[in-house]
Amino acid sequence: MLATKNNNDQVLAYFTRPTRSINHRQISEIRSEAKHKAIKPANSEQLAEFLNCWPDVDGETGLSLRGDELLVKARERMIAAVHNFNSAGLHFRAEIFITTAMVAWTYLCHAWCKREEIDYRYKINGAPKVLASGAEAYWELGKCLRNDQLPVAKAVRQNLELLLEIRHEIEHRSTVHHLPPVGRP
């Protein structure tokens, strides 16, 4: 926005909201590259996408429902996981929490990959792998966690890997105990 003909007031209008206060001095410091020089400016396509989404921005989080869809989904999944865990009357709420939280972490990792311009699609001979449904296949959480660039502390990775093992048990093996043996009605 600073590279366009927008003055500081016009730029300020897009970024100030009750939960975040930005002033003219800060805009001037960014414009003069006295601050945040290392952050690369958005190109014209990214700016157009931002402006197209605005004011479709959540005032509390600052997230755009379109531009930050993966972050919004991650946040909502984790909120849902906590709500379900705290709900009375659910017998398998720990299972629901773990499976929903793992989806939240997957969205969060995908959002990071997208921001860092890391292609997080599975490939076959260099082309994106396509599922039977026609959708492209994206990395699961375990694959995301194996990416050494992912800014997640070792202890967090280890906890998530443990939770993934529990999730696999829940999703793939917990029903086996309730099925009749093979060959018996």
23 and 73 housed in the same domain: no
pLDDT the model gives residue 10: 85
Q: What is the CB neighbour count within 10 angstroms for residue 105?
A: 20
Q: How confident is the model at residue 46 (pLDDT cuts 50, 70, 90)?
A: confident
Distance of alpha carbon 4 from its chain centroid, rounded?
Answer: 30
Q: How confident is the model at residue 77 (pLDDT cuts 50, 70, 90)?
A: very high
Indicate whether 60 pLDDT > 80. no
100 assigned to some structural domain = yes
24 and 92 housed in the same domain: no
109 and 39 housed in the same domain: no
For 95-140, write each residue's pLDDT tens digit.
Answer: 999 999 999 999 999 999 999 999 999 999 999 999 999 999 999 9
185 assigned to some structural domain = no
Range(s) of the domain holding residue 22: 8-53
Q: Name the pTM for this structure.
A: 0.65
Indicate whether 177 pLDDT > 60. no
Structural domains of the chain, count: 2
Q: What is the CB neighbour count within 10 angstroms for residue 58?
A: 14
pLDDT the model gives residue 101: 97
pLDDT the model gives residue 98: 96
3-class SS string, 23-42: CHHHHHHHHCCCCCCCCCCC
pLDDT the model gives residue 135: 93
Pick the closest to residue 78 from 4, 133, 160 (CA basis). 160
92 and 140 housed in the same domain: yes
pLDDT the model gives residue 19: 59
pLDDT the model gives residue 156: 97
